[in-house]
Amino acid sequence: MSTTIATTRLLALNAGSTASTHLAECLAVDFAALLLAVAPTLPPSAIQRMHAAAGKGITQRMALAAALLREAGQGEVQHWQAHPSDTVRGWACYLIGGDTQAALSDKLQAMHPLADDPHFGVREWAWLALRSDIVDAPLEALALLRSWAQQPSPHLRRFACEALRPRGVWATHIALLKQQPEHVLPLLEVLADDPERYVQDSVGNWLNDAGKSQPDWVRAVCTQWQSTRDSVANAYIRKRALRSL
């Protein structure tokens, strides 16, 4: 069933004066209108490029918005990462991700507050914006994210898992982790009894992703956990991991 968004609500989203409350609102934002509202000094050609991209996927438009801001000399991450609009804060994520001069370690450090953002959408953009870097260097990313899996914030613990998902819905696949998911097992072990459902869902989804290429490995991990872990959290993770095997 489609979700109807009131005109006044959509106008507020497109003006950047408020944050979305669910995915349908995220997807309904007019990027060209929002870009014009929050960065009115952008050249008309930039707004036109965003208009022309209206039919493209949302991840492509997120990256384009960041590129347009950067090209216009308005790519200062700190300026955008505290904006009321979750979409604009997502553009800040892509400004970090699109910095071709920065190392992955520096990008992760810059992304830290956005990965811990109170808005669900911004937290997703945070790892998606770094996905190409992670695909290019999954073992380096894994080494850097091991400490994130032990952070007090469940948002950051989830980030460590989501960023390394072998597949993912909107994300480029990580070939190495599809074929050799065992690389990530030490990180998954840290999260195997996580008390937060938000993190449990991510770990279960990670294993379910891996099961599409390496089902026997996922079954073996779950069998071992069943005999060595008796938490309610781990039982939930195992059920989610095995749901399509």
pLDDT of residue 169: 80
Domains and CATH numbers, the chain: 1-129 (no CATH), 156-245 (1.25.40.290)
pLDDT tens readout for residues 70-111:
999 999 999 999 999 999 999 999 999 999 999 999 999 999
Segment 5-16 shows an average pLDDT of 97
Segment 2-20 shows an average pLDDT of 92
pTM for this model (two decimals) = 0.94
The C-alpha angle with vertex 150 and arms to 108 and 118, in degrees rounded to 5, equals 60
pLDDT tens readout for residues 123-155:
999 999 999 999 999 999 999 999 999 999 999
pLDDT of residue 3: 67
104: Cβ contacts below 8 Å, ≥ 6 apart: 130, 133, 134, 137, 140, 141, 144
d(CA 148, CA 162): 11
**Cα dihedral 124→130→136→141 (10° resolution):** -80
| Contact indicator for 122, 111 with CB cutoff of 8 Å | no
pLDDT of residue 4: 86
pLDDT of residue 1: 37
